Amino acid sequence: MIDIEIKDFRRRVENINSLPTIPNNLKQISKIIEDPLISLREIGDFISNDPALTTKILKMVNSAFYGFPGRISSASFATVLLGLNVIKGLLVGFSVFEVMQNTMLGLWEHSLGCAITARSIAKRRGIKDYDDVYVAGLLHDIGKIILFLEYPNEYKETMNKAKLNNFTIVEAEGDQFVADHAEVGAWLAEKWLFPRNLIEVIKYHHIPQVSKNASIETAIVHSADVFMRAKGVGFAGDPFVPELDPVAFEMLKLSETDIKEILEEMEDFMVSGKELPQ
Amino acid sequence: MLKVSIDKLDPGMKLAKPVIKGNMILVNKDIELTETLIKKIQNIGISCVYIDAPTKQSISKEEALQQLDWRFKKVEDKPYMNMLKRLVREHIEGLYD
């Protein structure tokens, strides 16, 4: 167990901008999105000034997934279309992708699969802001990346421990850190001024019944996470499927046919989506 | 049969399943793709089509099912997990057809 008080741990996580192992693009994005006065237009300008980022965002909105294939040609239009919260979420998602590739191989694929699945469940349940649920799926495990960047050796050890002792990664994190990835992720989501619902989903995706303000979104991301582990999409730190919270799962009223279709749909979008962030 | 993203289609590929949007068949199976047809397919709002080619799963079906058993070993007696495992097994088997 790392000997640090939880409040110091939190401060350390929140200071990620000064961490040398954090890639520059994430630092830059982190600075932009934690500004409470940032406007959609400024974010649009920021994206427009970065050709690589522009390509990623345009590729995303022009994919069949978003239903506007080939019709959107400017970053500013894309930001208006997606809205501030979704665009902030995508920026963080894209910028941590590179880190994910170098740290936990397969976490990007797991996160993307989870995002696609969560969106698909949200649509079925008639949730209007299903893109927000997509972002929640994409970022639910962001705490793992941060733990890994802050404590690379300890986190590798945690993953090994999970594998050797048949622990889930959350169980193993509990032995090593004063806060698990869900809590760490929620700290960052708060720092980045993400909406309250998103913070709750990240914080409670392993204990969905605790969520008060976003119980349905948390139940969705929790279930999407379990579905992806069940199918073995990507890698999330340990090889095991965690158990479904029965109350959360029942809340979604998914039939067997629903689940089959959701898996099919995910498979379809993964074929095109996997290439998105490159 | 192979699922191919619409931006990776080439003329000469043959459709293994019809291209469907909603309940409507837009292009029949066994049709060979041309450049014009590919452009049309790219504009109807679907992400993938099925092409007549050997499947490209990275591991064999037996291996995939073995890994499935391994992944579920901690939770098989938990509520809904047996159902989920059965559905995922059927899903994985479908990927190898």
Contact yes or no for A244 and B85 at CB 8 A: no
- Helices (H), ranges, chain B: 35-42, 61-72, 81-95
**pLDDT at site A9:** 92
Point out the least confidently predicted range of A76-90, A185-199, A250-264.
Answer: A76-90
Rounded mean pLDDT of A217-229?
Answer: 98
Expressed in angstroms, the distance from the first to the final Cα of chain A is: 37
At residue B44, does pLDDT exceed 80?
A: yes
Which DSSP string do the residues of A12-34 spell out, in sequence order? HHHTGGG-TTS-HHHHHHHHHHT
- Taking alpha carbons only, the member of A138, A204, A214 closest to residue A170 is A204
Which amino acid, A157? E
Residue B59 binned pLDDT confidence (cut-offs 50, 70, 90) = confident
Paired with A55 in beta bridges are none
Inter-chain touch A231–B88, beta carbons under 8 Å: yes
Which residue in this structure is represented by tokens 């029942």?
A250
Give the ipTM of the model, two decimals please. Answer: 0.87
Express as a percent the part of chain A with pLDDT over 70: 92
DSSP letter assigned to residue A278: -
pLDDT band at A54 (very low <50, low <70, confident <90, very high): confident
Q: Which residues of A touch B (CB under 8 A)?
A: 63-65, 67, 69-70, 166, 168, 226-227, 229-232, 239-244, 246, 249, 256, 259-260, 263-264, 267-269, 271-272, 275
pLDDT of residue A108: 86
- State the average pLDDT over residues B46-75: 86
Q: Exposure pattern of A90-107 as b/e (b: 16+ CB <10 Å)?
A: bbbbbbbbebbeebbeeb
A241: number of CA atoms within 13 Å, CB side?
31
Question: Which band of pLDDT confidence, cut at 50, 70 and 90, is reported for residue B56?
Answer: low
Mean pLDDT of the A192-218 span:
95
Mean of the per-residue pLDDT values of chain A: 88
Q: Are A64 and B46 an interchain contact pair (Cβ–Cβ within 8 Å)?
A: yes
Is B88 an 8 Å CB contact of chain A?
yes
What is the pLDDT averaged over residues A162-190? 93
Comparing A82 with A155, the larger pLDDT belongs to A155
CB contact under 8 A, A64 and B6: yes
Averaged pLDDT, A245-251: 97
Least confident range from A99-108, A255-264, B72-81: namely A99-108
Residue of chain B whose Cα is closest to the Cα of A246: B79
